[in-house]
Amino acid sequence: MAGEIAETDEKRFPDLSKSEKNLVVEVYAPWCGPCKMLAPIMEAIAVQFDGKCTFVKLNGDVNDKLIEAWHIRGYPTLLFFKNGKEVGREVGFTRKEKLVEVIGKYFLTD
C-alpha cells in the first residue's frame, strides 16, 4: 500500500539493495523523538514518490552490523542508495521540503 514503509533488517537488506534501483533507508530507534516526528513525513513522501523510489525503515537498535558498516552515529539517518550504492545521507530531523529536494537530486535527474 502506498505510504506504508516496510521494515527491513540485516538479513533482507542485501537482496533488497540489489533489486531496487532507487532506495531510501530510514534508520531509526523506537525511543528517538526526532524519528517519531519524521515518520509521518516519510510516509507522505513515500506516497509522493510511489513508483519512483522504494522506502524502507531499519531499527538501528537491533541491526548492529549494518549500523557499524554504515557508520551511523545518530538517529534518524536517511540513506539514499542508487543501483545498490550509497549516494547520500541526511542525519537528524529533516523538513519535508528538503527531503523532496534531496530525493529529486539523487533519483530524478541523470
Q: Is 106 helix (H, G, I), strand (E, B) or coil?
A: helix
Q: Is 53 a catalytic residue?
A: no
In the numeric block, the cell 506516497 is attached to 47
Which among 23, 24, 27, 35 is annotated as catalytic? 35
Q: Is 32 a catalytic residue?
A: yes
Which among 32, 39, 87, 91 is annotated as catalytic? 32
Which residue numbers are catalytic? 32, 35
